[in-house]
Chain A
């Protein structure tokens, strides 16, 4: 299969990329790892006169903790996230999501920024950054701005990025002590998208009551969803099985799955309820021992 013809640019600097996007406004597509875009181009589901490959821009693939934030450059490969020791030790939720994205070959090219800005409701990183209350830094020609993770994706395959803007980094607040989280993904087969998946991150107070919580959902609505009511319900409580059950019901009520190849809406809700309960219990357990 061959994509339709396009003109290709691979700028080495951000300014150059931004000026290309502005010059070819409305006709240019940003490509990072290309693991979602190239399949779309090959199947000719999408075509663009210009492709701006940003993967050669330097300094956008770092993972570091600085000024209270875990900073992840948008061009960080999913496999780099997976192999990072900081992530393995301190951010289990991210590590678990990374290791379950597609397969190792795709993860060697796919990027964190691409996984978010492609805005596929089945992509895994968006729910995680929602649960972690991350901020997303976006660079345009005129200004740099920061968006909350839960307002970045506006609909299926749509984001709050304005024409010519590039997602540059993900800023995750470094969790306090007694924090824990997890990502649970239910899928039909290895490497597949999920039937439903959930990201939970919570921080406990000295009294082991939940001080703050973040819950993000994958594949169960037209866009990655923040389960706000469930977050509110859990705050101020100690988690036991009955609380976890109650929260999972609220989570399900906040989902809006559609019937498709992965199952009926009812089926997806059942799956979501079960993994939500597990995810709440597991996150709480992890937060207790941290």
Chain B
């Protein structure tokens, strides 16, 4: 069994690892690094439960090899909150009941984060389109879409606050 050396930046931390080329990114995150917030749902590239950001883009980590992440920056759900403070999108999902069983939630939040970073104020249709690769079998999506809408608002508010602090 031959392994390959990879250097990745996971949630802001530089990590050097030895992986088998056949190891999927999702298994690398969960089993090697213990980051179990990234879920395996369908394991067949359909459901999006395993969504993470790679160099800022939302991708399915069950459909990418760990070796392909060499030299890249990966953000999983564990990497978006600061200390004990939830990310505005996490707060929004909590307040607007954007989840029931929670299995799809980390993927939903990361895909939404990718969307909101390129489009601060998306329409409902844009949100639904962006989330079309993330399946939820509980909510019927309505609450998820509402959460993302609300999260967008919270992110804009937070950005304005931070901007004001800098200006002072």
Q: Hey, which bits of chain A sit against chain B, CB under 8 A?
A: 1-8, 10, 34-35, 38-39, 41-43, 51, 53, 55, 79, 102-106, 108-109, 190-191
Contacts and interface: CB of A to CB of B under 8 A. Distances in A.
A1 B65 CA distance: 12
Contacts of B39: none
Given A103-B133, A106-B133, A6 B22 contact: yes
B130 A104 contact: yes
Contact of A34 (B4, B20, B64): B64
Interface of B: 1-2, 4, 20-24, 27, 43-46, 48, 51, 57-60, 62-65, 67-68, 70, 111, 129-130, 132-134
A42 B132 contact: no
Contact of A105 (B21, B59, B67): B59
17 contacts: A1-B44, A4-B22, A5-B1, A8-B21, A8-B65, A34-B63, A34-B68, A35-B63, A38-B45, A42-B24, A104-B130, A105-B59, A105-B111, A106-B45, A109-B63, A109-B64, A191-B133
Contacts of B64: 34, 38, 109
A103 B65 CA distance: 19
Contacts of A10: 67-68, 70
A45 B132 CA distance: 26
B127 to A, nearest CB: 11
A2 B59 contact: no
Interface of chain A, main secondary structure:
loop
A274 B46 CA distance: 29
B63 A106 contact: yes
Contact of B133 (A4, A43, A105): A105
Contacts of A53: 67-68
Q: 9 tightest CB-CB pairs across the interface, nearest first?
A: A103-B133, A8-B21, A105-B133, A3-B22, A108-B57, A190-B132, A103-B132, A38-B63, A39-B45
Contact of A79 (B57, B63, B70): B57
B65 A105 contact: no
A79 B129 CA distance: 13
A101 to B, nearest CB: 11
Contacts of B27: 2
A140 B105 CA distance: 45
Contacts of A190: 132
Given A2-B22, A6-B21, 19 more contacts: A2-B27, A6-B22, A8-B4, A8-B65, A10-B67, A38-B24, A38-B65, A39-B63, A41-B22, A42-B24, A42-B43, A42-B44, A104-B58, A104-B130, A108-B57, A109-B59, A190-B132, A191-B132, A191-B133
Nearest to B107: A105
Contacts of B24: 2, 38, 42
B2 A7 contact: yes
B59 A51 contact: no
Contacts of B134: 105
B142 to A, nearest CB: 16
B92 to A, nearest CB: 20
A71 B24 CA distance: 33
Nearest to A37: B63
B161 to A, nearest CB: 30
B1 to A, nearest CB: 7
Contacts of B51: 105
A7 B68 CA distance: 13
B44 to A, nearest CB: 6
Contacts of A7: 2, 21
A42 B43 CA distance: 9
Contacts of A55: 68
